[in-house]
Structure 1
Amino acid sequence: MPVFIASLNSGSNGNCYYVGNEREAVLVDAGISCRETEKRMTRLGLSMKLVKAIFISHEHSDHIRGLAVLAKKYRLPVYITDGTVHHCGDIPKELCCTLKSYLPVQIGNLEIIAFPKHHDAVEPHSFMISNGDTKIGVFTDIGAPCEHLIRHFGQCHAAFLEANYDEDMLEQGRYPFYLKRRIRSGKGHLSNKQALDMFIEHKSPYMTHLLLAHLSKDNNNPELAQQLFAQHSGDTHVSVASRDEESAVYCIDPSPVVLTELNAVNQITGQFQFVLS
């Protein structure tokens, strides 16, 4: 069964990622408004009716800004750690589900596993989302690669991977020293080079798609990041998740995707903006 993934927004102005099959889907983070989430999903042919839950990586505002309204409107369970929920505003208690490291959550045919990461938040987590044998990783806001990240990245058929800053642009840029130090610290963000090293050294031989995520507006450049990875992408389709608009919907299927299968999916879920290469 194929998996469909899309970035609805990615950056310090808001993060929201869609992962689903033809029956159910989840959102990872809700950092843009409910209205903007709906608009972007509609443009992609994605339906909120398929979204069955929201998973929250940590409490920073660019990951939770639209959470309360979205969860209330659609009565969506919110999977969130006990430490994180106290920083996330007005979420009805009945919608909050406790998220624990390495305790699988089953949403239909999707299995979601959260694992800890290095970031300056209360209880930050990354996510591995599986649909049968197909595995999708959501790995952003990471200060440094750890054994958890390396192990899971190496299993992915597709992933959202942070490439936040170019080291020279950050060093020469306008940010004050304390902020530069925070970004470069082991609990800040991954640089282009760190992300590229992860990709070269640890990607699975069957990874078909990589979306570079959470690029800095001031300390990175989409073309720069894209060019850096293009030299090493091989058979993996590498794209940049925009901080201003939604990506295309990418179809992740380890088996060959034939036209009849795509047509069947379209009849169920609507006309996606498919990108298969």
Structure 2
Amino acid sequence: MISGRISFTSLGSGSKGNATLVRAGKTLILIDCGFTLKEVTRRLQQQAVDPRDLTAVLVTHEHGDHIGGVGALCRRYNLPLFTTPGTRLSGRLGLLPDWRKIDPEHPFAVGDLEVWPVTVPHDAREPVQFILGNGASRLGVLTDLGCITPHVIRHYRRCQGLILEANHDPDLLAQGPYPPSLKRRVAGDYGHLSNQQAAELLLQLDQKQLQHLVASHLSEQNNCPDLARQTLATSLNCTPDWVALAEQESGLGWRQLD
């Protein structure tokens, strides 16, 4: 299955909304949509994409910053939507024109892309993250998990591109404005990866294959871009500016895998 190189971009990443675009050949997949229909249309247009060009929408889990605009987008443009049964049963999607079930750990094809849904530890009903491949290269999307498991390492070990959560710095989280219960949730095994946890994961991957690393889902209150990039860069023995950043407002420019 080799039909065009994989390219990808982020429409925005953070607690106010997440959406990632992945293209290969004639296939264009949107992963998550935490923005309103009006806002995601605007952000798609900024990337020279018409919503009618989308092949399908994939959803990782049912939290609002990932699913908020999914139902409206799929209804407006009659798009197929792939989710796990747990995500579907959350009741947050409304009526859908074309729902398709994801079986975690069972790969499936969407046009020119093969998709591997990977189970992750997160406080949602049946959360997954995704690896997408075209037979020549693989893009890993890995956000919204509280800890790194051997299962995650095994699946993400050989990606050429990686969009990786670096949500918080433990010290900034501890000193920050969140109430204690929310701090425990974010830092817990079913919360979000810290900069240090993301860096530890990188040490266990095949770094020689990595062409693009994107730090994503950064907390505005409990992290800062320079700190996240420096922490990840240390694991890769590279300069911080090699680590790209998926920002909340401006997202990320298109990247392509060789």
TM band (smaller chain): over 0.9
Would the alpha carbon gap of residues 146 and 216 (structure 1) be closer, same or farther in structure 2, given more than 3 Å must change?
same
Runs of 5+ in structure 2 lacking a partner? none
Counterparts of 2:137 and 2:23 in 1: how far apart (Å)?
Answer: 11
Relative to the length of structure 2, the TM-score reads 0.93
- Note the C-alpha offset of 1:103: 1.9
- What is the RMSD computed on CA atoms of the aligned residues? 1.6
Counterparts of 2:93 and 2:82 in 1: how far apart (Å)?
Answer: 15
Matches within 5 A, 1:1-277: 1-234=4-237, 237-253=242-258
Counterparts of 1:230 and 1:138 in 2: how far apart (Å)?
Answer: 18
Q: Secondary structure at the match of 1:202?
A: coil
- Note the C-alpha offset of 1:90: 4.5
Q: Secondary structure at the match of 1:127?
A: strand
1:149-168 CA-partner distances (Å, limit 9, x unpaired): 10122111001110000011
- Note the C-alpha offset of 1:93: 4.3
Would the alpha carbon gap of residues 172 and 153 (structure 1) be closer, same or farther in structure 2, given more than 3 Å must change?
same
Counterparts of 1:220 and 1:36 in 2: how far apart (Å)?
Answer: 25
Counterparts of 1:88 and 1:5 in 2: how far apart (Å)?
Answer: 29
Counterparts of 2:206 and 2:178 in 1: how far apart (Å)?
Answer: 32
Relative to the length of structure 1, the TM-score reads 0.86
Runs of 5+ in structure 1 lacking a partner? 254-277
Alignment-mate amino acid for residue 255 of structure 2: Y
Would the alpha carbon gap of residues 167 and 73 (structure 1) be closer, same or farther in structure 2, given more than 3 Å must change?
same
Counterparts of 1:217 and 1:225 in 2: how far apart (Å)?
Answer: 12
Q: Secondary structure at the match of 1:115?
A: strand
Contact 1:64–1:88 (CA under 8 A) maintained in structure 2:
no
1:41-61 CA-partner distances (Å, limit 9, x unpaired): 222223434321111111111
Contact 2:118–2:155 (CA under 8 A) maintained in structure 1:
no
Alignment-mate amino acid for residue 115 of structure 2: I
Bigger CA drift: 59-68 or 97-106? 97-106
Contact 2:60–2:66 (CA under 8 A) maintained in structure 1:
yes
Q: Secondary structure at the match of 2:174?
A: helix
Alignment-mate amino acid for residue 195 of structure 1: A
- Note the C-alpha offset of 1:133: 2.0
Counterparts of 2:97 and 2:64 in 1: how far apart (Å)?
Answer: 22
Alignment-mate amino acid for residue 65 of structure 1: G
Bigger CA drift: 42-51 or 168-177? 42-51
Counterparts of 1:122 and 1:168 in 2: how far apart (Å)?
Answer: 29
Counterparts of 2:36 and 2:141 in 1: how far apart (Å)?
Answer: 20
Query: Percent identical across equivalent pairs?
Result: 35
- Note the C-alpha offset of 1:10: 0.6
Alignment-mate amino acid for residue 68 of structure 2: R
Alignment-mate amino acid for residue 201 of structure 2: M
Alignment-mate amino acid for residue 252 of structure 2: S
1:109-140 CA-partner distances (Å, limit 9, x unpaired): 10111121000010010111111221011100
Contact 2:57–2:79 (CA under 8 A) maintained in structure 1:
yes
